Structure 1
Amino acid sequence: MFSKACEYGIRAAIYIASKSLLEERATLIDIAEEIDSPTAFTAKILQQLVKSNVVHSIKGPHGGFFIPVEEMKEVKLVQVVVAIDGNKLFTGCGLGLKQCNENHPCPVHFKFKEIRNELQHMLENTTIKEMAEGVETGLAFLRQ
């Protein structure tokens, strides 16, 4: 469902948020290692997240990536998905057809629409803070 970049983006945002809860900034190297992503690819993903105001960055020896705790309560997973993949996930055809719609549906249109709507609802109602707290308490993990 998500592109590889989006998967890494979600994991990076959650990791950055978990570090931010500890009042720490995450470095590019730490993030890439933690989410098991190539460093250069991670840098591009982080650029998109910064540009979309999902995460913040500070340059310099004491810099890094962070999300202010007050903001992380408001940042939803959908913002990460849209920042990386756009909104095609919520509007596109499950089979990738260009002409699929309510009047001219593909074979999976109506079943995929239900799943897509549930996924969108979950992403719109889940905060980065919730996900980060799960990682911090050990109830969830970002890496095997």
Structure 2
Amino acid sequence: MFSKACEYGIRASIFIATKSSKGIRVGIKDVAKEIDSPEPFTAKIMQILTKNGIINSTKGVGGGFEVSPEAAKSIKLIQIVDAIDGNKIYSGCGIGLKECSEEHPCPVHHEFKKIRGLLLEMLKNTTLEQLASDVKSGDFFLKATNANN
């Protein structure tokens, strides 16, 4: 549903928010490793998130990426999605047709419209702080774990 860049952007934002809540800034290598993303690709995503005011970047010794706990309370998931993927997910056709509307619907139009509405509500109502808190609790994870470890 989301682009790979958006998936990584969401995971990176959550990871940074969990570390920031403990007063820790993280570097690009740590972010890329934690979200299982190639470092150059992660760097491009971080540029987008920083440019859009979602993540703060500090250069130099002791620098890195962070998001203040106050900002994490107000940053909604929709802001991350919009920054990376734009808003096409809320209006695009479920099977990718260029033209799909109430007057000329595709076979999944009506059901997909309901799903898009639910997705939009979740994105509007979920804060970065909520997601970071879920990960910090240990009940939710940002990357797959090997069951044999």
Which bracket does the TM-score occupy, shorter chain normalised? over 0.9
* CA distance in 2: counterparts of 1:117 and 1:39, whole angstroms: 34
AA aligned to 2:136 is: E
1:23-38 matches, within 5 Å, as 23-38=23-38
* CA distance in 2: counterparts of 1:106 and 1:47, whole angstroms: 37
Percent identity of paired positions between Structure 1 and Structure 2? 56
AA aligned to 2:45 is: I
Give the drift of 1:109. Answer: 0.5
* CA distance in 2: counterparts of 1:88 and 1:46, whole angstroms: 21
- Matched position secondary structure for 2:130: helix
Partner of 1:100: 100
1:107-126 matches, within 5 Å, as 107-126=107-126
Partner of 2:52: 52
* CA distance in 1: counterparts of 2:57 and 2:7, whole angstroms: 20
Give the drift of 1:68. Answer: 0.7
* CA distance in 2: counterparts of 1:111 and 1:138, whole angstroms: 34
AA aligned to 2:95 is: L
Partner of 1:16: 16
AA aligned to 2:108 is: V
Give the drift of 1:20. Answer: 0.6
AA aligned to 1:141 is: F
- Matched position secondary structure for 1:25: coil
Give the drift of 1:99. Answer: 1.1
Deviations 1:70-115 (A, max 9, x none): 1110001111101110000001111111110111111100100000
* CA distance in 2: counterparts of 1:96 and 1:17, whole angstroms: 34
1:131-142 matches, within 5 Å, as 131-142=131-142
Unaligned runs of 5+ residues in structure 1 are none
Unaligned runs of 5+ residues in structure 2 are 145-149
User: TM-score by structure 1 length?
Assistant: 0.98
